[in-house]
Amino acid sequence: MNQTSVDDFTATILSTWYAVASQWMPPGDTNPLCVTCFRSPVMDVVDVSDYPHDVIHELVVPIGIAVEHVRISLAEEHPSDAAPALVGVTARQMVSTSLLGRSDELHDVLENCIRYRMDDFITLELEHNLLKYG
Query: What confidence tens digit (pLDDT) does each residue in 24-82 have?
Result: 888 777 677 799 999 999 999 998 888 888 999 999 999 999 999 999 999 988 776 66
pLDDT tens track for 82-125:
677 788 899 999 999 999 999 999 999 999 888 878 877 666 66
62 preceded by a cis bond (ω within 30 of 0): no
Please tell me the distance from the alpha carbon of residue 44 to that of residue 42, in angstroms, as a whole number. 5
Please tell me the distance from the alpha carbon of residue 12 to that of residue 18, in angstroms, as a whole number. 10
- pLDDT confidence of residue 49: 84
Q: What's the pTM value of the predicted model, to 2 decimals?
A: 0.84
Write down how long the chain is: 134
Name the percent of the chain in helix, strand, coil, to the closest 5. Answer: 80, 0, 20
